[in-house]
Amino acid sequence: MNFQVVKGMRDFLPEQAKKKQFIEDLCRRTFERYGFEPLQSPIVEDFALLAAKGSGGEAIKEEIYYFRDKGERELGLRYDLTVPLARIAASNPMLQKPFKRYCIGTVYRYDRPQAKRYREFTQADFDIIGSRSVLADFEILQVACDVMRALGLEFKIKVNSRAIMEELAKKCGVAPGQVRDCFRSIDKLDKIGPKEVGKELEAKGIDAKILEEISVNSFEKVKEALGEIECVKELEELLMLAKENGMKEVVFDLSLCRGLEYYTGSVFEAALNEGPSVGGGGRYDKLVETYGGQPSPATGMSFGIDRLLDSLEKILIVGPTTQVFVAPLSREFSLEASRLATKLRKFGIGVEFDVMERSVGKNLEYAKRRGIAFFIAIGENETKGRRVKVKETGSGTEKEFGIDDCAGIAGLVKSG
């Protein structure tokens, strides 16, 4: 028998899993430093929720893992972390505002698997529910910048406004009923270029004049065209706040549309300078209402952890979780060796112990291969003489300590 991982999904073996966890931990620490708190929701949701207007719609059935349980309930695996958040916000109106939550978890799509495209992947979402202030959008951008900088990435965070796009479309003669269709085409600018988008718009009978405005891509021009209306003032303040706080990675990009239709104001996209988009988001002031909640302005972003991992995997080095290997010279010294390991762990040191009953040579080899920095062998001399040698596995240099001087050993290990 030979069992494989399910199509489009993948295992993370330790080397890779450690890197993934490093990225997730970094996200988490950053979110928490801004006062975001964790929220967890089930991976299985009612299909009615996933297919509700405002989220996926009935057509989502084709794109997700849909099934019926034994009680004939229609269920599905969540395809993002925003819809469950909106459900929770809608059904818990007593949640204190601002409700700042983060969630790092897997989501599921029944896409055609492609290179670097999986059917199970991990998102790290951070959202603020309850504030309609541009300060909330600004905080989302700050968090995103902090995460990307801490990962050592070269990136841009593109910023635009759905509201501005709509005003602009109106001004360029796009009929109200055609605005969505228009944006769907504009959303392809990155992929197929302005010429093809222009053709698409014409085929849809939409005035392609808006493409000229977009191609200029100047906030000043937008201001001229639309005047000092609310959505222009808001985006201007957002860009000013970013600039004044030294976030030079934040740039205005009039071509940024973002596919999802629930966005109502600012939209964001984080993209590597030499690489793909790794995150996106924006303001979605109507979504919580759609799920039966009280009107609740909301804004947030989502990082694709797998995308970040893909771009960092080759350069990230995450060492072993242990600093010391303790090896008995033979089986009869296991107890003495184990006691030393136990005591060292109490000093907050990671200690691996020989559970294979291997020779000391094999254990030293193993410790070196794993990058464990220090090695202690325990045999008759050590047990009787009550002294041990702590060997640096790299240089081979040794220092002697009393077998009970765990503070001394810990000092060496921590400074090493």
Site for its own copies, residues 357 to 416, rule: CB under 8 A: 357, 366, 369-370
Q: Which residues 277-316 are close enough to bind its own copies by CB under 8 A? A: 290-292
Which one, of 332, 337, 341, 323, lies nearest residue 378 by Cα? 337
Which CA distances in Å does 332 have to 44, 204, 338? 52, 82, 11
User: Of 189, 239, 241, 287, which lies in the binding site for its own copies, with binding defined by CB under 8 A?
Assistant: 241
Does position 151 interact with its own copies (CB under 8 A)? The reply is no
Q: Choose between 275 and 371: whose C-beta lies nearer to its own copies.
A: 371
Q: Which residues 129-148 are close enough to bind its own copies by CB under 8 A? A: 130-131, 133, 135-136, 138-139, 142, 146
The stretch near its own copies (CB under 8 A) out of 4-12, 176-184, 219-227, 258-266 is 4-12
CA dihedral for 299, 287, 197, 114, sign (positive or negative): positive
- The span from the CA of 399 to the CA of 390, in Å, is 5
* Shortest spacing between CB 23 and its own copies, in angstroms: 12
Q: Which helix (H) or strand (E) holds 412?
A: helix 406-415
The stretch near its own copies (CB under 8 A) out of 152-160, 177-185, 252-260, 336-344 is 336-344
User: Of 23, 79, 108, 174, which lies in the binding site for its own copies, with binding defined by CB under 8 A?
Assistant: 108
Does position 124 interact with its own copies (CB under 8 A)? The reply is no
Quick one: 82 exposed, middle or buried, by C-beta within 10 A (0-12, 13-18, 19+)?
buried
Does position 123 interact with its own copies (CB under 8 A)? The reply is no
Q: Which residues 25-54 are close enough to bind its own copies by CB under 8 A? A: 32-46, 48-49, 52
User: Of 156, 209, 223, 339, which lies in the binding site for its own copies, with binding defined by CB under 8 A?
Assistant: 339
Does position 117 interact with its own copies (CB under 8 A)? The reply is no
User: Of 160, 161, 264, 322, which lies in the binding site for its own copies, with binding defined by CB under 8 A?
Assistant: 322
* Shortest spacing between CB 105 and its own copies, in angstroms: 9
Does position 98 interact with its own copies (CB under 8 A)? The reply is yes
Q: What crossing angle do the helices spanning 189-203 and 179-186 adopt, rounded to 10°?
A: 140
The stretch near its own copies (CB under 8 A) out of 98-106, 166-174, 279-287, 307-315 is 98-106
* Shortest spacing between CB 375 and its own copies, in angstroms: 13
The answer to whether 401 and 351 have CB atoms below 8 angstroms apart is no
Does position 204 interact with its own copies (CB under 8 A)? The reply is no
Q: Choose between 44 and 225: whose C-beta lies nearer to its own copies.
A: 44
SS3 letters across 242-301: HHHCCCCCEEECCCCCCCCCCCCCEEEEEEECCCCEEEEEEECCCHHHHCCCCCCCEEEE
* Shortest spacing between CB 154 and its own copies, in angstroms: 20
* Shortest spacing between CB 239 and its own copies, in angstroms: 13
Q: Choose between 319 and 411: whose C-beta lies nearer to its own copies.
A: 319
The string over 280-304, giving b where at least 16 C-beta atoms fall within 10 Å of a residue's C-beta and e elsewhere, is: bbbbbbbbbbbbebeebbbbbbbbb
Please confirm whether the linkage preceding 98 is cis (ω < 30° from 0): yes
| Whole-number CA gyration radius for the chain | 28
* Shortest spacing between CB 224 and its own copies, in angstroms: 25
Binders of its own copies: how many residues, by CB under 8 A? Answer: 98
Which one, of 146, 151, 140, lies nearest residue 269 by Cα? 140
* Shortest spacing between CB 33 and its own copies, in angstroms: 5
Does position 106 interact with its own copies (CB under 8 A)? The reply is yes
- The span from the CA of 189 to the CA of 194, in Å, is 6
Does position 72 interact with its own copies (CB under 8 A)? The reply is no
- The span from the CA of 290 to the CA of 293, in Å, is 7
Q: In 80-131, where does DSSP find H-type helix?
A: 82-91
Does position 263 interact with its own copies (CB under 8 A)? The reply is no
Which residues, including other chains, have CB under 8 Å from residue 44's CB and lie 6 or more apart? 75, 76, 77, 78
Does position 93 interact with its own copies (CB under 8 A)? The reply is no
User: Of 169, 222, 351, 377, which lies in the binding site for its own copies, with binding defined by CB under 8 A?
Assistant: 351
Quick one: 368 exposed, middle or buried, by C-beta within 10 A (0-12, 13-18, 19+)?
middle
- The span from the CA of 95 to the CA of 179, in Å, is 35
* Shortest spacing between CB 174 and its own copies, in angstroms: 31
* Shortest spacing between CB 198 and its own copies, in angstroms: 35
CB count within 10 Å of CB 33 equals 10
Does position 65 interact with its own copies (CB under 8 A)? The reply is yes
